[in-house]
Structure 1
Amino acid sequence: MQLITSLTRKKISPEQLFMLSVLVVNGGNYIYNLVLGRLLGPAQFADAAILITFLLVLSFLAMTFQLVTAKYAVLLENSQLPSFLKNILNSSLVVGIIAGLAVILFSGQLQGLFHTTSKNMFVIFGVAVPFYFLMSVNRGFLQGKNDFKGLAITYQSEMLVRLGLTILLLFILKIDPIFIVAIGILVSLILGLFPFKMSSVLQLAAGKIDNHLSKQIKRFFLVTLFYELTQIIINNSDILLVKHYFEDTEAGLYASLALIGRVVYFMAWMFVMLLLPKVISLQKEGKQTQSLLFKYVGYISLLCILIIAGTALFPELVVEILFGNAYTDIAPLLWKYAIATSLFAIANIFSYYFLSLGKYKPVIISGVMGLAQVALIILYHKNLDQVVLVQILAMTILMIMQIIYFIASKKS
């Protein structure tokens, strides 16, 4: 946060500030996972990875609230915005409580399904879930209002608290380390609520939202919900299925592979965060948006090429530096997994672009390929190499279909 303040004084643009902040946050989250991987070892890291993956799985709901809030924070006037924010805050809290209670009530079943050492990790995680949803609505408001400084602070505070508190407690407390990981997630989500910038708008008189607009909001919410669900299926089902089908050590090795390979997706996300409000604003002003899409696709493609090349040329070095010698067995798969996530990241830019424009067919395409990926892993999981190869196949088809849709929509 001190870094953000000093850079702001040097007249750095809000967009540049946010992109730099995302790099810092992604770096911090990587350090968090790397430290856990080294301190816990492959078997226990597999349990920690389940909690982290659960957070990402629930993000399909939380991110839906964030994106819907971001879009209508741009589109709605002050008379309608307070009413919208109150409704979506209440809805997010209700959904968060229901989801959290479900995790707590079924904690025993979750322990048996994923072969974890304790069910208490799921109980603590369930308590954290409602805060995650409230935090997402606040972030959506900051995103829609282009308050990139506030958005950067909330992401950084969440990351720094989770990283610092978890490492500190791991060295101080002599209890189950997975229990400590869950506590770190809970506290970080609570503090990630700040800065809370909606207070001034919520105090304004709430104007009535007409039925037509209300239907538009609900439709966009449902479509975004479906798309975020497909994102989670594509991006996280492999870790859950590997944890179910393989022994703990192999599952921990695969979790480290996924973490390294997904650096492309995490980097691409900062462009998505900038893309959505910009596309909506340009569309509202009647301006063309394709050049913005091409620019971001170019950025992500260049990043993908660099990461694939690095993981292909120096796989063992990358694994040793990041996770240590205990994880080097996974090195030969690194470049293959990077290809799968690169294809997904580029296809994802196209999907969010069309979602911003209110075109929803790419969402259906992603949903079909997400389910196809799950089916392929269930059918073909003889070894970890096979799991990665079927993901490359699914993501190649997804990428081709998104490009075909873009060309067809351009002609029409």
Structure 2
Amino acid sequence: MQFFSQIKEKKIKPEQLFMLSVLAVNGGNYLYNLILGRILGPAQFADAAVLITFLLVLSFAAMTFQLVTAKFSVLFENDIFQSFISKVYKNALAVGLAFGALIIIFAGALQNVFNTSSSNMFVVFGFGVPLYFLMSVNRGVFQGKKSFKNLSITYQTEMLSRLVITLGLILLFDIKSSVVIAVGILASFVFGLFPFKYKNLFPKKALVLSQTHSKDIRHFFIITAFYELTQIIINNSDILLVKHFFESYEAGLYASLALIGRIVYFIAWMFVMLLLPTVVELKKEGKKTAPILFKYVGYIAAISITIILVCLAFPETIITLLFGDSYIAMAPLLWKYAIATSMFAISNIFAYYYLSLDKYVPVVISGVFGMLQMLLVIYFHDSLEQVVYMQIVAMLLLLVIQLIYFKYDSSKSAKTLNLK
């Protein structure tokens, strides 16, 4: 009783609640992937990994709308905000319908490129794409307004529904098919829409945004879209290229490696969600923004080092506990892959920080090294180990350049202040 009374006295802040929620969501998503890996085995899990990777690609593409919505939800109020939201929802729906149609039309071609057992899984996935874009705008409003309770709920409902529905269909009907996984993903998009607070999305008479506002929105949208494209390339191209160049068994092994190694990035994403609205608000108030950057970089660096050391010390134990003995061949590569994702996670914090400040050089830098990583894997893929090494090279260069830019920009800003 004393323990619970202490919890009531120390009220959990919304930001802390969101962080706990993100950890729970990531844990649920990991459980989802781990169970699929154990039930399906390496060869069949390779097909599932393609769908999961498509889901990640979709999340990055839709993140453009979420970040734009989040930023301008901080800056806009009242009628301007309502007009802005209506416009974003219209554009998000249009883009979602276009992307979904393309996936459905080219489902057969996607099956051939990624050597999957079925094209129907891409068709089912395509129908869910518009829903995901609408869901992302809804989340952007919650993020910008710092309504972390509602933001937590929408992530929780998406994760839980995907976990329960997918595994329920597989275990109850004993259907180990990639189409079942696609159905679970589609259903999770529907549940992820809740809570949905904006009923009058497309009013007949809406305030027309000024040219200045429209220009600012368009400019930020283009830059953010470019950056999210680099995220797609860096975060997902390796799995898709491995699926293309290697046999299904090896691709399934690599998918398990990527899933474990990327835990650093998914934890970093939690801090990015808090970083953007905070930096925009501090800039709006004329306050210093660098301390919040240092705070989150410190968190990610500490978490990264811990995960790398654990992966180095207990690789076989981790692989066996999470995926089983069938995936044990990946144990020697686990800590090396964790190094690559750790450097990417830290670089990512810098890029999102500058994106919040309307400084876009780090975004271009990420784009360059995202393409470099993909080219290195395309030309050097004699083994899975070589694929991992190519990513380490690309991400190390990316982090070094980002740090050099930060030092340059800080020196430049300090000189400007001294002149004033």
The verdict on a shared fold, with TM-score over 0.5 as the criterion, is yes
Q: Where does 1:329-348 land on structure 2 (aligned, <5 Å)?
A: 329-348=329-348
Separation (CA, whole Å) in 2 of partners of 1:200 and 1:294: 41
Contact 1:80/1:206 (<8 A) preserved: no
Report the Cα offset of residue 205 of structure 1.
Answer: 7.3
- Matched with 1:210 is 210
Contact 1:100/1:128 (<8 A) preserved: yes
- RMSD in angstroms over aligned alpha carbons? 1.5
Contact 2:40/2:176 (<8 A) preserved: no
Separation (CA, whole Å) in 1 of partners of 2:400 and 2:202: 44
Separation (CA, whole Å) in 2 of partners of 1:176 and 1:35: 12
Separation (CA, whole Å) in 2 of partners of 1:217 and 1:277: 15
- Matched with 1:80 is 80
Separation (CA, whole Å) in 2 of partners of 1:176 and 1:24: 26
Contact 1:125/1:185 (<8 A) preserved: yes
Separation (CA, whole Å) in 1 of partners of 2:204 and 2:194: 21
Q: CA deviation digits over 1:116-174, x for unaligned, max 9? A: 00100000000111110000000000000000000000000000000011111101224
Contact 1:85/1:202 (<8 A) preserved: no
- Matched with 1:352 is 352
Separation (CA, whole Å) in 1 of partners of 2:139 and 2:60: 15
Amino acid at match of 1:305: I
Report the Cα offset of residue 176 of structure 1.
Answer: 4.5
Separation (CA, whole Å) in 2 of partners of 1:343 and 1:202: 42
Separation (CA, whole Å) in 1 of partners of 2:176 and 2:108: 17
Report the Cα offset of residue 58 of structure 1.
Answer: 2.0
After superposition, the Cα gap between the structure-2 partners of 1:203 and 1:93, relative to the gap in structure 1 and judged at 3 Å, is closer
* Mapped pair 1:160 → 2:198: no
Amino acid at match of 2:336: K
- Matched with 1:42 is 42
Q: CA deviation digits over 1:235-281, x for unaligned, max 9? A: 10000000000000000000000000000000000000000000000
- Matched with 2:228 is 228
Separation (CA, whole Å) in 1 of partners of 2:50 and 2:82: 37
- Matched with 1:4 is none
* Mapped pair 1:300 → 2:274: no
Q: CA deviation digits over 1:371-409, x for unaligned, max 9? A: 000000011000000000010000000000000110111
* Residue range with higher mean Cα deviation, 204-213 or 44-53: 204-213
Report the Cα offset of residue 204 of structure 1.
Answer: 11
SS of 1:196 mapped into structure 2: coil
Contact 2:89/2:201 (<8 A) preserved: no
Contact 1:64/1:225 (<8 A) preserved: yes
Contact 1:141/1:198 (<8 A) preserved: no
- Matched with 2:376 is 376
Amino acid at match of 1:393: V
SS of 2:79 mapped into structure 1: coil
Matched residue count: 406
Contact 1:82/1:202 (<8 A) preserved: no
Separation (CA, whole Å) in 2 of partners of 1:139 and 1:26: 17
- Matched with 2:361 is 361
Unaligned runs of 5+ in 2: 1-6, 413-420
Separation (CA, whole Å) in 2 of partners of 1:99 and 1:380: 31
After superposition, the Cα gap between the structure-2 partners of 1:90 and 1:201, relative to the gap in structure 1 and judged at 3 Å, is closer
After superposition, the Cα gap between the structure-2 partners of 1:16 and 1:204, relative to the gap in structure 1 and judged at 3 Å, is farther
Amino acid at match of 2:360: Y
Amino acid at match of 1:61: A
* Residue range with higher mean Cα deviation, 145-154 or 58-67: 58-67
Contact 2:157/2:191 (<8 A) preserved: yes
- Matched with 1:70 is 70
SS of 1:80 mapped into structure 2: helix
- Matched with 1:258 is 258
Contact 2:83/2:208 (<8 A) preserved: yes
Contact 2:275/2:353 (<8 A) preserved: yes
Q: CA deviation digits over 1:175-229, x for unaligned, max 9? A: 3521110000000011100001234797797433110110110010000000000
Contact 2:162/2:188 (<8 A) preserved: yes
- Matched with 1:134 is 134
Separation (CA, whole Å) in 1 of partners of 2:213 and 2:386: 47
After superposition, the Cα gap between the structure-2 partners of 1:8 and 1:90, relative to the gap in structure 1 and judged at 3 Å, is farther
Separation (CA, whole Å) in 1 of partners of 2:148 and 2:200: 18
* Mapped pair 1:24 → 2:24: yes
Separation (CA, whole Å) in 1 of partners of 2:400 and 2:8: 41
